[in-house]
Chains A and B, each alone.
Chain A
């Protein structure tokens, strides 16, 4: 009687313990599940369809009929044998390198400036940066187009009035290089606020005492930055660089709208523009899908570095 009662008492107690452990272990997954479900729902079908189209001949004729014709890896073969693809890839890599460098270096410099400003001026500058961040890219492009207008643009007017040179009637979109340079200024301008504010937050982690100690020891500004500040903000700079590379590699809106379609030629293609032209202008959706998947593969490799770093940061905390 006593043993049976003991067993009866023990059994209910074991179940709640196991169940609680399972429940606690499952909580993180349950919390993440809705987001994953939505992402899967929204991305899974398009991704499946993208892969399917990349393996088909899918041009205007097939679009009207609503179905493609299976041709295996022919689209991929055609793209990888196309010199335009390789030239565009190289140009995009150089473009990305230039943009990321300017963004990170410029952003860090402005963040260092923010630290030293009076509160009132700091607030003004921060508000300005927020407004830049909030401006939609399409609107920014239109303002840039007006400012760089050949006959009426304010940029030409100011440069001429300040006697920097005779910029009357100067066309800022004369060559492929100048077109991409203008796109770079626009993209970097739009990317700075995020970098500045993130680095500014990171700079608050730099211990004041170390900086003062280094300055008392006679270290100049550059030494202080290199030996005290930089090690502290390096993890953040690393993450920002990874993000910037991912974003700038796939840039499309600013480049396509600023250069404008009548001036888009293979000589100023970026990967995003090349993909758009192949798929939507030449109506070769199969080829466009193949280029898209190749771009995805490149970006996936780049993002491995970013994800690994984020996981490591999470583990430390």
Chain B
């Protein structure tokens, strides 16, 4: 009799466990995850925008939750390649505008041409970003944001040195930095900090003098870094760097250390980089951080800034493409783009520009050659090598530029 009761109780427990598990797994069966890959820039610079988009998406798509995985610029493409091989790609991926062409040519992304109207302000997208999202006339990405390069500086140190307004020319800027240096003698302090091999910033000098990286003619790429104008720009860069930046930074890159880290440690009074650098200049100096556009060597003009930017693409292997497009639409809507603008970025559409220092910087800009193998030039560190050789004096400007130019042409002309 006892055993029969035990058996009944055991059966009841077993049944209820099974029922509960079935119910739970039933719930799990309807829960979907949207995997989104964004860069750490978003994690550091505008996490509130990401949260807003996630909330909006989850509210309108019950049973879905968004899994945002932050990536680093240095290795996110290798990780993406691995997911392509494993047929396990994210549903949305942020790509740098210089990285898009190679992947569009390989057919990695879904064609978004038919859904263009789904995205806010798609009729007014910035020309440069839109161009980087299109291949053979079809749309494969949604412009996310752009950024030009600005000088972020310490208003208190500049004031102490007697600098009253933003310099109107490169020569004046050099003189202002020398004034700051004369008023600040702590060891390891340098009035200006820039990573010597930061080509996004350094090549602005080349474009300021009318030079360029490469030109396409008759279907073949020709390297133009060894032209007279480009060499003049590189020489101007070397002069500026040697008189204002620390020698130890000649061969460093802009990821390690990040310029805003050097700024926050009170080891410099000015850095050159994207506008959103102002996010991370340190709690102590938030109130005394200002920005202005890098002046050209020609008085009264701005130095062209690298128009960097990102696009959002949907990998073709994704099984949730409709939801991916909906998330992108939520992330790049007008309100979020305005929020991105508020933290120092350029929004993705011309009707949202409102004359901030960033937008002014974007008026004079340059971009890399739109070639399928451009990303191989970046990964091969050809420009970084050239800049390091020039700044350390290892090679003359002419020799370093000629070598780099030949390497770039060879890489871009590969099949």
Contacts and interface: CB of A to CB of B under 8 A. Distances in A.
Interface of A: 59-61, 63-65, 145, 149-151, 168-171, 173-174, 260-265, 267, 277, 280-283
A149 B246 CA distance: 14
Interface in B253-284: 253, 255-257, 262, 267
Nearest to A267: B385
Contacts of B246: 169
Given A150-B248, A174-B392, A265-B385, A260 B108 contact: no
Nearest to B249: A150
Contacts of A168: 187-188
Contact of A264 (B103, B105, B262, B381): B381
Given A63-B106, A261-B379, A280-B81, 5 more contacts: A63-B81, A63-B84, A151-B248, A263-B253, A265-B384
A178 to B, nearest CB: 10
Nearest to B262: A151
Interface of B: 74-75, 78, 81, 84-85, 102-103, 105-108, 187-188, 197, 246-253, 255-257, 262, 267, 316, 376, 379-381, 384-385, 392
Complex A-B, nearest 7 residue pairs according to Cβ-Cβ distance, in ascending order: A169-B248, A262-B253, A60-B106, A281-B379, A61-B106, A150-B248, A280-B78
Contact of B74 (A64, A151, A262): A262
B379 A282 contact: yes
A149 B188 CA distance: 14
Among the interface residues A64, A170, A173, A282, which one has the most CB atoms of the partner chain B within 10 A? Answer: A64
A152 B385 CA distance: 24
Contacts of B247: 169
B86 to A, nearest CB: 11
A283 B99 CA distance: 13
Given A64-B316, A265-B380, A265-B385, A151 B188 contact: yes
A262 B248 contact: no
10 contacts: A59-B106, A60-B81, A170-B248, A261-B75, A262-B74, A263-B251, A267-B385, A281-B78, A281-B376, A281-B380
B159 to A, nearest CB: 26
B108 A64 contact: yes
Among the interface residues B247, B248, B376, B392, which one has the most CB atoms of the partner chain A within 10 A? Answer: B248
Given A168-B187, A170-B248, A151 B267 contact: yes
Nearest to A173: B251
B108 A262 contact: no
Contacts of A282: 376, 379
B237 to A, nearest CB: 18
Contact of B84 (A64, A261, A263): A64
A174 B251 CA distance: 7
Contacts of A260: 253, 256
Contacts of A149: 257
Contacts of B74: 261-262
B43 to A, nearest CB: 20
Contacts of B248: 150-151, 169-171
B257 A151 contact: yes
Contacts of B107: 61, 64-65
Nearest to A276: B78
B41 to A, nearest CB: 17
Contact of B255 (A171, A262, A267): A262
A264 B248 CA distance: 19
Nearest to B196: A171
A60 B78 contact: no
Nearest to B253: A262
Given A64-B84, A150-B249, A261-B75, A169 B379 contact: no
Contacts of B253: 260, 262-263
A283 B81 contact: yes
Nearest to B315: A64
A61 B102 CA distance: 9
A180 to B, nearest CB: 15
Contacts of B381: 261-265
Nearest to A62: B106
A292 B78 CA distance: 18
A168 B379 CA distance: 31
B330 to A, nearest CB: 27
Nearest to B256: A260
B262 to A, nearest CB: 7
Nearest to A262: B253
Contacts of A64: 84, 106-108, 316
Contacts of A265: 380-381, 384-385
A75 to B, nearest CB: 14
Nearest to A60: B106
Contact of A60 (B75, B108, B188, B384): B108
